Amino acid sequence: MVVYCDTNTKQIWDWLDTIPDPEIPVISIVDLGVVRDVDIERGAVKVTITPTYSGCPAMGVIAMDIDTELAKHGIKNLELKTQISPAWTTDWLSEKGRSRLERYGIAPPQAAGGPSRCPRCRSEKVEKISQFGSTACKAQWRCKECLEPFDYFKCI
Amino acid sequence: MLDTVNPLFEFLLRQGDNTLILGHRTSEWCGVGPALEEDIALANTALDLIGQTQLWLDYAAEVEGKGRSTNDLAFLRDAYAFRNILMLEVPNEDFGRTLMRQFLFDAFQVPWLTLLQDSTDQRVSDIAVKSLKEALYHLERSRGTVISLGDGTEESNRRMQQALSFLWPYSGEVFCDDEIDYAMAKVKVAPLPSEIRSIWLETVEGAFNLAYLIKPEGDFAHSGGRAGVRHTEHLGHMLATMQVLQRSYPGAKW
Ligand SMILES: [Zn+2]
């Protein structure tokens, strides 16, 4: 176990980067861009998070997971703050997160508003099934080459 | 009226109650949507709306400063304390009316939230920026669906026209400026709702043309919801379902 006084913010970012997103466990909450700030002030660790979508039901779980993970490393004095501004955007997804999403079968967000290719066979012949998907952050698309449906991470 | 109420609190209730009441109505489709994709879309839309409600009512509770929480405001107020427009509380009826209502609302929310981004109240501006991203996404879908169903089969066109005729007299309430609106406009927290009516009309008329739907005649607007002086008989029934848990088991948590 790491002793509390040895921790710095970089260390805390690394620990947070091991916490999987509750709904898409192949990426971490840091990859997703929901962790906005980490600060250590007078013995307290301050973590600021932001929701992806305003009604994202995973926020409660994310807060609990941060609490549990940091407690494992001996951090007891945690101040968790939620902020909505600046509003979360898919631009904050890390490069590591984007490639992991695709490997997992979820097409990463594109500024053009739709997936660039099928995450399975890489064909660019894709079509939209529905603007919404199994979670608030995804839409349903289909590949016209391999005929498989797939999730697309909505670009906002 | 302004002597007895806090206009900012009233303004925030109007925003949060609109999204709460529509969010709950929309959630009634969860599990019974006409197709799996639509069911999921409706549930996700409801979720966004309830999330936005949380942001508005959190702030409303703080501004009121009487110790009521966000949940108290949502689950322990009676019908006449609600400030939503009447259009959002009438029953879903069918998928067509549900999407037509969503469209009429989204077509208002998008320009409204766009202007609220410039509010002199930082918190209002932050909530508007966050909500607008979702509202834009909702508008894309509701507009597309209204056009597809209007320009669909004879049956789908007939039902969309029916939905439009029913909802039209409810659609004007949101533009009827009152003392609260004047008070908010004066301190530049929000523009006057009437100022965006022409943008709204342009959006809805454009879609109706593509959807082969006829805009009903007349400017009569059912009103009273925003001021809380009149609600339809449907709101009480809806609240009975929405609030039953907190009414039966006060303070229940999970
Ligand atoms: Zn494919």
Q: Write the pLDDT tens digit of every residue in B167-176.
A: 999 999 999 9
Percent of chain B scoring above 70 in pLDDT:
99
The partner residue sitting opposite A54, judged by closest CB among B40, B48, B125, is: B48
Shortest alpha-carbon distance between residue B117 and chain A (Å):
12
Q: What is the mean pLDDT of residues B34-38?
A: 92
pLDDT band for position B4 (cuts 50, 70, 90): confident
The predicted pLDDT at position B60 comes to 98
The predicted pLDDT at position A68 comes to 97
* Nearest-angstrom CA–CA distance, B22 and B135: 13
| Residue recorded with tokens 């809805």 | B204
Q: Please tell me which residue of chain B has the smallest CA distance to A90.
A: B133
* Nearest-angstrom CA–CA distance, B48 and B207: 24
Q: State phi, psi for A118 to the nearest 5 degrees.
A: -70, 130
Which amino acid, one-letter code, is at B216?
Answer: P
The predicted pLDDT at position B254 comes to 74
Cβ-based contacts of B50 with chain A (< 8 Å):
55
A9-90, superfamily in CATH?
Fe-S cluster assembly (FSCA) (3.30.300.130)
CB contact (8 A) between residue B41 and residue A54? no
Rounded average pLDDT per 10-residue block, chain A, 156 residues: 64 96 94 96 93 90 96 94 94 95 96 93 96 90 96 92
Average pLDDT, chain B: 96
CB contact (8 A) between residue A84 and residue B140? no
pLDDT band for position B2 (cuts 50, 70, 90): low
CB contact (8 A) between residue B41 and residue A51? no
- Which DSSP string corresponds to B19-80? HHHHHHHHHTTTTT-SSHHHHHHHHHHHHHHHHHHHHHHHHHHHHH-SS--HHHHHHS--GG
The predicted pLDDT at position B1 comes to 59
| Residue recorded with tokens 């304390």 | B81
- Which DSSP string corresponds to A16-52? HTTSBPSSSTTSBTTTTT-EEEEEEETTEEEEEE--S
Global pTM reads 0.93
The predicted pLDDT at position B84 comes to 98
The predicted pLDDT at position B109 comes to 98
> Which of the 8 DSSP states describes residue B175?
G
Q: Which of B8, B112, B102, B78 is nearest to B228 (CA)?
A: B78
* Nearest-angstrom CA–CA distance, A152 and B105: 27
The predicted pLDDT at position A7 comes to 72
User: pLDDT tens across B162-220, in order?
Assistant: 999 999 999 999 999 999 999 999 999 999 999 999 999 999 999 999 999 999 998 88
* Nearest-angstrom CA–CA distance, B179 and B194: 13
The predicted pLDDT at position A6 comes to 58
Residues B57 and B87 sit within 8 Å (Cβ to Cβ): no
| Residue ranges covered by each domain of chain A | 9-90, 105-153
User: Ligand 1 mean position to B147 CA, how many Å?
Assistant: 30
The predicted pLDDT at position A57 comes to 85
Is CATH 1.20.1260.10 what the domain over B7-214+231-248 is classified as, yes or no?
yes
Question: Residue A114 region, left (φ>0) first, then alpha (ψ -120 to 50), else beta?
Answer: beta
Q: Please tell me which residue of chain A has the smallest CA distance to B123.
A: A85
User: pLDDT tens across B110-131, in order?
Assistant: 999 999 999 999 999 999 999 9
Residue B164 vs residue B253, higher pLDDT: B164
